[in-house]
Structure 1
Amino acid sequence: MNTHTPGEASMTRTVLVTGVSGHIGARVAIALAADPEIDRVIGVDTGPPPSPAGEDGAVLGRTEFVRVALRSPDLVQVIRDADVDTVVHLSLVSGPGGGRPAMKEHNVIGTMQLLAACQRSATVRRVVVRSTTAVYGSSPHAPAVFTEDTEPVDVSHSGYARDATEVETYVRGFARRRPDVTTTTLRFATFMGPGVDSPLTSYFSQPVLPTVLGFDPRLQFVHEDDAVEVLCRTARADHPGVFNVAGDGVLLLSQCARRTGRPVIPMPSPAFRFVSGLARGARLVDFSPEQLALMSHGRAVDTTRLAAELGWRPKYSTAAAFDDFLRSRGGPGDLPRALVDWLADFVRPIS
């Protein structure tokens, strides 16, 4: 059984971070490598981090990059040869850029393979997994606020939310099979910040913002700095369980839109979905079905459990995280009023 009490700062020697080609993964690897109490940080991914990390085996700070896929048998050898004791799993794809089958293969099958490698390891004793608040779904039947124990409602049967739900199922199975390993699942709200590139940051960067007529969803964000901090804290000490991670407070979509200074075009749901499809085809905004639901019904989560467990609260509220993102993107730019009116006339017949 696990001999560590929750929150105990047991010695961390070697950390393996997956998904270091992504912005958050790279930042977490760098932050952990800067910790003098951590001997070694190994970043794995199918491509190098977004920096001058160079080729396989190169060092970013003190982070060693190894090019290996989650589904590769070589991953088992990496964990074994390095005597990895902590695994931080951040390699989850949120958009079907390479197609839905490839996305599911990476997210679900890749996680299964990683957990199997951890299960066979004699040295791994802590596993931290990135998940998402999208597992709760977005629905008119949803509660005002989700806690970690709330049953999901109307969860998507495909896409990122479905993958995250399956990933969490495999993590729970792993925890039962290896009770000596501390497992932490972090359900993040939407990342926000200067370095974040996501469907929502792309949406709010457009010159005009289509919205669903009759809906003003509540949104929550977590600043990238706070996300990195939470991941590092749970990598350094034992915090078993499932935790929601979000900045304090909520923003209505209308409040977000006013902050951007961009014109808004309310449109009926069929028209919004049609325009979203056009934007996806033009590679402007890659909205998944669960994100389209979010833009109608919104979602808010309670973070009391995280604050009690870590004795820490995010530096940025939801509003502050969004404002920091906006400052990094500059002003709204000028869009002729005639063009806004034309867009509104264009989508009106679609309803």
Structure 2
Amino acid sequence: MAPKVVLVTGCSRFLGGHLAARFAANPDVGRVLAVDTEPPARDVLRRMGRAEFVRADIRNPLIAKVIATARVDTVVHASVTANPPGPTGRTAMKEMNVIGTMQLLAACQKSPHVRKLVVKSTSAVYGSSSRDPAVFTEEMGPKDLPSSGYAKDAVEVEGYVRAFARRRPDVLVSTLRFTNFIGPRIDTVLTRYFALPVVPTVLGYDARVQLLHSEDALAVLERAALHDLPGVFNAGGDGVLMLSQAIRRAGRVNLRVPSVAVPATGRLFRSARLVDFSPDQMRFLNWGRVVDTTLLKQEFGFAPRWTTQQAFDDYVSGRALRPMIDPGVVDSVEGRVLDLAARLRR
């Protein structure tokens, strides 16, 4: 049954804003409240149509008044983010992710009208390490518990969500563990990383990367809100790319950095305001992460439209990324090296 009143958090960001626009375009949805501390971009605000923007901070207990007054029955918590805003970004990010979630759940718990909660989580809760299984399923835990950054925030958020579900068993709770988003319109740490002219990687490592197109991510969140699908679900595109393959497909130059130089390289890129690498993101670039999506397809009833490779290629073409070095030159040099190696073997 479609929600009568749906509230979406994080509407100033891509997922929250475009999700609110989707709900607003659906005549079966009665009322749409789009919540954030800042209004979305003008083009997104226009797309949101009849959705009502509410300037509110979910870290503030007043969010309970918004939910109670509007008699919200479905809450989509899409504001948990890995992108730190501004110079004090990581502190503010943790506050919004963890404290904001706590206040939002407290507001939902008080309201007798809330019947469904959808939470945007991340596959980063599984961590990244050399001891990881080939594929993570939903019942698995991390081999090394994330100790900082977005991954640690997501672990705490999921803990609070589980506690809420125990206190309010009458509320249907869907937790969606997304792999990294990619696409021509979304801005993330990973999309900025692959757009660098020279992409740093860790010498001796080649991570397996599983991606989800941002349009598929929107479709997953929308389906969770419009249907009764409680549970925890991994969400990612089929297949994987090796990190080196992705860099080549983007036409970038791979800069292999020794492990001892990685912290200094991260600080360099951060000071230049190119990409802000957190420790958990650096571990991901070492080891990668792949999740099983059987439950998403069989129980949740959704098959991503784009595979990992197709999603990445759509990002490359949509961003109009051009090779930094002429592929013909690379092929010529590679051919000469192979010829020289063949002659030396004779």
**TM-score normalised by the chain length of structure 1:** 0.89
Residue equivalent to 1:41? 32
SS of aligned partner of 1:31: helix
Residue equivalent to 1:64? 52
Residue equivalent to 1:94? 82
Q: Partners of 2:198 and 2:54 in 1: how far apart?
A: 42
Residue equivalent to 2:152? 162
Sequence identity of aligned pairs in percent?
Answer: 54
C-alpha displacement at 1:199, in angstroms?
1.2
Mapped pair 1:320 → 2:326: no
Question: Which structure carries more relative contact order (alpha carbon 8 Å, separation 6+)?
Answer: 1
Q: Which amino acid aligns with 2:11?
A: V
Question: In 1, are the aligned partners of 2:18 and 2:44 still within 8 Å (CA)?
Answer: no
Match of 1:79 among 67, 77, 84: 67
Q: Which amino acid aligns with 1:41?
A: V
Match of 2:182 among 176, 192, 198: 192
C-alpha displacement at 1:33, in angstroms?
1.1
Question: In 1, are the aligned partners of 2:199 and 2:253 still within 8 Å (CA)?
Answer: yes
Q: Partners of 2:73 and 2:116 in 1: how far apart?
A: 6
Deviations 1:48-81 (A, max 9, x none): 0122577xxx993121000000022321111111
Q: Partners of 2:172 and 2:21 in 1: how far apart?
A: 23
SS of aligned partner of 2:95: helix
Residue equivalent to 1:22? 13
SS of aligned partner of 2:262: helix
Q: Partners of 1:93 and 1:196 in 2: how far apart?
A: 13
> CA 1:104 to 1:331, structure 2 compared with 1: closer, same or farther past 3 Å?
closer
Mapped pair 1:222 → 2:218: no
**TM-score normalised by the chain length of structure 2:** 0.90
> CA 1:154 to 1:42, structure 2 compared with 1: closer, same or farther past 3 Å?
same
Residue equivalent to 1:212? 202
Match of 2:22 among 26, 31, 47: 31
Question: In 2, are the aligned partners of 1:273 and 1:292 still within 8 Å (CA)?
Answer: no
C-alpha displacement at 1:14, in angstroms?
0.6
More off after superposition, 150-159 vs 209-218? 150-159
> CA 1:271 to 1:117, structure 2 compared with 1: closer, same or farther past 3 Å?
same
C-alpha displacement at 1:265, in angstroms?
1.8
Q: Partners of 2:30 and 2:253 in 1: how far apart?
A: 51
Q: Partners of 1:73 and 1:150 in 2: how far apart?
A: 34
Mapped pair 1:268 → 2:268: no
Give the aligned length.
325
Residue equivalent to 2:284? 294
C-alpha displacement at 1:299, in angstroms?
0.5
Deviations 1:88-120 (A, max 9, x none): 001113133334332222111110000000000
Residue equivalent to 1:348? none
Deviations 1:200-250 (A, max 9, x none): 111110111121111110001110110000000000111111100000011
Question: In 1, are the aligned partners of 2:220 and 2:302 still within 8 Å (CA)?
Answer: no
Residue equivalent to 1:347? none
Residue equivalent to 1:3? none
C-alpha displacement at 1:310, in angstroms?
2.5
Residue equivalent to 1:346? none
Q: Partners of 1:99 and 1:321 in 2: how far apart?
A: 28
Mapped pair 1:278 → 2:268: yes
Provide structure 1 residue ranges, at least 5 long, that are not aligned to the other structure.
1-9, 337-351
Q: Partners of 1:257 and 1:60 in 2: how far apart?
A: 35
> CA 1:334 to 1:104, structure 2 compared with 1: closer, same or farther past 3 Å?
closer
Provide structure 2 residue ranges, at least 5 long, that are not aligned to the other structure.
327-346
Q: Which amino acid aligns with 1:274?
A: A
Runs of at least 4 residues of structure 1 off by over 6 A? none
